[in-house]
Chains A and B, each alone.
Chain A
Amino acid sequence: MRTPDLDGPDAALARAVADDRDAPHDLGGLAAEVGTSVALLEAVGRAGLLLPHHVDADGTARYSAADADAVRAGLELLEAGLPLAELLELAGPTDEAVAAIADRAVEAFLRFVRDPVLGTAPDDDEAGRRLVAAYDRMLPAVERLVTHHLRRRLVAAAVARMAAGTDGTPAP
Chain B
Amino acid sequence: MTLRVRTVALPDDAASADLLDDVFGTLPADDRFAFVGGDVGLVGAGAAVRIPVGAGTDRGARAAAELDRLLATAEVDDEVGGRGTGAIAVGSLTFDPDAEGSVLVVPSLSVGRREGATWVTTAAVDAPPPTWRPGAGVPGRPPVRDRPRFAGSSLRDDAWLTAVDAAVAAIAAGELEKVVLARDHRLWSEAPFDVPALLGALAERFPACRTFLVDRLIGASPEPLLRVEGTEVRSRVLAGTAPRGATPAEDERAWADLLVSAKDRHEHAMAVTSVTAPLTALGADVLAPDEPSRLALDNVQHLATDVVARLPAPMPALTLLDRLHPTAAVGGVPSAAALDRIRSTEGMDRGRYAGPVGWTDGAGDGEWALALRCAEVDGARARVFAGAGVVAGSLPELELRETQLKLRAMLRVLSGLGAERPAATG
Residues of chain A whose beta carbon lies under 8 Å from any beta carbon of chain B: 36-40, 42-43, 46-47, 78, 81, 83-86, 88-89, 167, 170-172
Contact = CB atoms under 8 A, between A and B. Distances in A.
5 contacts: A39-B164, A85-B400, A88-B401, A89-B404, A171-B149
Contacts of B156: 78, 83-84
B100 interface: no
Rank and list the top 10 A-B pairs by shortest CB-CB distance, nearest first. A39-B165, A84-B157, A43-B397, A171-B415, A85-B404, A83-B157, A37-B162, A84-B158, A171-B147, A39-B162
Interface string B378-410: 000000000000000001110011011000100
Q: Chain A: interface secondary structure?
A: helix
Range, interface on chain B: 20 to 34
B348 to A, nearest CB: 15
A24 B417 CA distance: 50
A76 B180 CA distance: 29
A170 B417 contact: yes
B412 interface: yes
Interface of B: 147-149, 152-153, 156-158, 161-162, 164-166, 395-397, 400-401, 403-404, 408, 411-412, 414-415, 417
Nearest to A75: B158
A85 B405 CA distance: 10
A170 B408 CA distance: 12
A87 to B, nearest CB: 8
Contacts of A37: 158, 162, 165
A85 to B, nearest CB: 4
Contacts of A88: 397, 400-401
A80 B415 CA distance: 25
B165 A170 contact: no
A69 to B, nearest CB: 18
B147 A170 contact: yes
A168 to B, nearest CB: 10
Given A39-B161, A40-B162, A88-B401, A171 B412 contact: yes
